[in-house]
Every structure is written in C-alpha cells, then in structure tokens.
Copies of this chain bind each other. A is one copy, B any other.
Amino acid sequence: MIIVLQKEASETELQDIVARIKHYGLEPHVIVGVARTVIGLVGDKNGLEPSFFEGLPGVEKAVPIMAPYKLTSRDAKAEDSIIQIKNVTIGDGKMVYMAGPCAIESREQILETAEQVKIAGASILRGGAFKPRTSPYSFQGLGERGLEYLQEAGETFGMPTVSEVINPSDVELVARYVDILQIGARNMQNFSLLRQVGHSRKPVLLKRGLSATIEEWLMAAEYILSEGNYQVILCERGIRTFETATRNTLDVGAIALARRLSHLPVIADPSHATGRSELVTPAGCAAVAAGAQGLMVEVHPNPDTALSDGAQSLTPRQFGQMIKAVQRVAGALTLSSTDEWWERNVV
C-alpha cells in the first residue's frame, strides 16, 4: 500500500503515521517528493485496508497496490482449474453449454426442454425453481416441486443440472436435487449465501452482479473458496450501464481479464446480457471469442408463452443453430490457442 500525505501534513503527523505502520508489523518507506510526501508499506498486509489510514490526520489517501483476493488469483494457482460434474468437464478447453428455461413451469415443460436442448448439444440442464423477481406480483417459481421435475429431467436425459438458490437456509435443500448451485447476479454480494454455498460440496456458478467490478466479483468468489469450496465457475451476464437498447451490456473485457487474473473457469450468459433473442447468438460468439469456456442460455419450447423472460429465450431450434456458430468460433480459437498470443494474453 502507498500512503499519500496531505501537502500541509506536519512532521508530527508523519511520525504518528510511521509509528502506526510499525505497530501493524510493517516497514515504512518515506519518500519526500517535490509536491507531496508518500510512504510505501512493506510486509504482509493481509486484512489491512486503506480506510485504516485514510482517517488519520495528515493523510490524503491510501492506494492499495496488490489485489485483495488471494485464493482466487493466478498468483495462488497458475494453471486453469478444471471442474468435473458427473460426466461433464468445465474448463478443460472444450466448450460447455448449459440450457433450459428461465423458470420451470411444469414437469412436461422441463422434460420436453431437456430432451430438445440435449439433442441440440447442451450438456447441462438449467431451470429456475426459486426465482428472484423484481415484482412481488410476478411468478416466483415452483419451489421444491420444480427441483424435483428438474432432477427427473436431468436424470432422464443424462444431464447434470444447475438451479439458483436465493436463501442461505435453502442451500441444503437445493443441493439435494441439483448438481451446480447458482448464485444470481442480485445475490453476488449476499455474503451469508456465499458462505453457505462455501460449506457445500457442490460446485457453484457465481454470476457477476449488475454493477460489480471485476475485483468485487473475484472477491465474492474468494468468500466461497475461503470456506473450502474450490469448485467455482464465474459467469459474466452483462453489467448495468446507461445503454437501454439492450437489457445489459455484455462485458467481454471482463471475461478476458477474469481468465487472466483467476484460475477459475469463466462462462457467459448471453441471454440476460442482451435481453433480446436475436442478439443471443452474436453475443454468445463474442463471449467465446473473448475467452469464455462455456455458455448458459435460456431456451424455451414456446418462448411466446413463457412465464418469464420470453423475449430473450431461444427456441430449441435456434439454440441448435447458435451452438453451430459458437462451435466454429471456439474451433477457430482452439487452433490459434497454440500461438504465442494466447499464451501471453489469456493464460
């Protein structure tokens, strides 16, 4: 950390700050500049925050130099993490497709969708049973009954399943039925929930929050890893910006950067990122071109009768066509991944 003193900071204030730095077991390096004096801190700064110094008399600001995440970082683990879920592997270079309806509406609907997305090329079945909805008057999901249907559909068609958990007290329940626990964007900083899924032995799909920085996203993953659960899949799903023509703004730079900063697998959700079915394929291709190792896509047999998010759902047929396009992009990059640039840029 670097501490920048105020222009008018006194010698006494400087000495007090130096004393405090030593009190924390760190070594202060004072640099007297032309316009400002700054102090560099040397030592193990784990748990120390800029705010510990920013309140002190004479301090203008404190600037952290190191990233605050540890276990999530490539510094902690240089090679890519690979996550095995039944017969499916995530992060090993082969694209993984998670597909299904936004909300599970009935046994028939999820069985029908499962069959169709399986044929189209999906390897993991998604479906929401506990839905976080902006309005209390919107359909909130079928709850445990929905999970039963999802489990049945997954087993019938040989696909691992993923579903969102929104309440810490439901983690055990959801974990009984599904193979991957999903943390939604609105819960990315629901720290009780993060800790709870950290205690679970099930892999976790962690969506980036609507206005979460890449650092905050990795820190949210750190919560889960620090509880002992290392099976975390990061999912970029678009951030909130001033642009309203698309539902969110897919941040492909975040995909590329997260892969560089962290060893965890990174996938993308082009359905929520764009909110428009006609943009799902271009956005999915873009995410993969930027380094995403999989996609999560909303697919509904009849998007026009869907109980939620119909406008952004693909039909199974459209989904199959999307996979064809994405596979070509992924193939193109696999070819180029042996080149130096990939080595330099992503790994």
Please report A residues at the B interface, Cβ cutoff 8 Å: 2, 4, 7, 29, 31-36, 38, 40-44, 46-47, 49-52, 54-57, 63, 65-66, 68, 75, 132-138, 166-170, 186-187, 189-192, 195, 210-211, 213-216, 219, 222-223, 226-227, 238-246, 249-257, 260, 273-274, 277-279, 281-283, 285-291, 303-306, 308-311, 313, 318, 321-322, 324-325, 328-329, 331-333, 335-336, 339-342, 344-346
From the candidates B249, B287, B308, name the one contacting A239 in the complex (CB within 8 A). Answer: B249
In the bound complex, do residue A222 and residue B253 qualify as a contact, i.e. CB atoms below 8 Å apart? no
Q: Please, how many angstroms separate the alpha-carbon atoms of A76 and B74 in the complex?
A: 44
Identical chains in the assembly:
4
In the bound complex, do residue A339 and residue B321 qualify as a contact, i.e. CB atoms below 8 Å apart? yes
In the bound complex, do residue B285 and residue A287 qualify as a contact, i.e. CB atoms below 8 Å apart? no
Q: Which residue among A56, A66, A252 has the maximum number of chain B CB atoms within 10 Å of its CB?
A: A252
In the bound complex, do residue B274 and residue A2 qualify as a contact, i.e. CB atoms below 8 Å apart? no
In the bound complex, do residue B289 and residue A136 qualify as a contact, i.e. CB atoms below 8 Å apart? no
Sampled A-B contacts (13; CB under 8 Å):
A2-B38, A55-B304, A167-B168, A214-B243, A241-B241, A245-B254, A246-B254, A256-B286, A260-B278, A281-B345, A283-B290, A286-B289, A325-B339
CB-CB under 8 A from A136, the residues of chain B are: 191, 195, 219, 222-223, 226-227
In the bound complex, do residue B281 and residue A51 qualify as a contact, i.e. CB atoms below 8 Å apart? no
From the candidates B36, B65, B336, name the one contacting A38 in the complex (CB within 8 A). Answer: B65
Q: Please, how many angstroms separate the alpha-carbon atoms of A289 and B336 in the complex?
A: 15
CB-CB under 8 A from A287, the residues of chain B are: 286
A241, closest chain B residue (CB): B241
In the bound complex, do residue A242 and residue B245 qualify as a contact, i.e. CB atoms below 8 Å apart? no
Q: Please, how many angstroms separate the alpha-carbon atoms of A246 and B256 in the complex?
A: 10
Q: Please, how many angstroms separate the alpha-carbon atoms of A39 and B192 in the complex?
A: 40
* 9 A-B pairs with the lowest CB-CB distances in the bound complex, closest first: A55-B310, A211-B211, A54-B311, A328-B332, A256-B282, A285-B289, A289-B289, A167-B192, A286-B290
CB-CB under 8 A from A214, the residues of chain B are: 243, 245
CB-CB under 8 A from A283, the residues of chain B are: 252-253, 256, 290
Q: Please, how many angstroms separate the alpha-carbon atoms of A285 and B336 in the complex?
A: 11
CB-CB under 8 A from A256, the residues of chain B are: 274, 279, 282-283, 286
CB-CB under 8 A from A35, the residues of chain B are: 66, 75
In the bound complex, do residue A249 and residue B241 qualify as a contact, i.e. CB atoms below 8 Å apart? yes
Q: Please, how many angstroms separate the alpha-carbon atoms of A169 and B256 in the complex?
A: 38
CB-CB under 8 A from A210, the residues of chain B are: 211
In the bound complex, do residue B329 and residue A289 qualify as a contact, i.e. CB atoms below 8 Å apart? yes
From the candidates B7, B44, B226, B278, name the one contacting A344 in the complex (CB within 8 A). Answer: B278
Q: How far is the CB of A79 from chain B (nearest CB, A)?
A: 16
In the bound complex, do residue A42 and residue B32 qualify as a contact, i.e. CB atoms below 8 Å apart? yes
Q: Please, how many angstroms separate the alpha-carbon atoms of A47 and B214 in the complex?
A: 31
In the bound complex, do residue A341 and residue B329 qualify as a contact, i.e. CB atoms below 8 Å apart? no
In the bound complex, do residue B189 and residue A134 qualify as a contact, i.e. CB atoms below 8 Å apart? yes
A17, closest chain B residue (CB): B304
CB-CB under 8 A from A41, the residues of chain B are: 33
A310, closest chain B residue (CB): B55
In the bound complex, do residue A306 and residue B51 qualify as a contact, i.e. CB atoms below 8 Å apart? yes
CB-CB under 8 A from A52, the residues of chain B are: 310
Q: Please, how many angstroms separate the alpha-carbon atoms of A321 and B75 in the complex?
A: 27
A165, closest chain B residue (CB): B192
A211, closest chain B residue (CB): B211
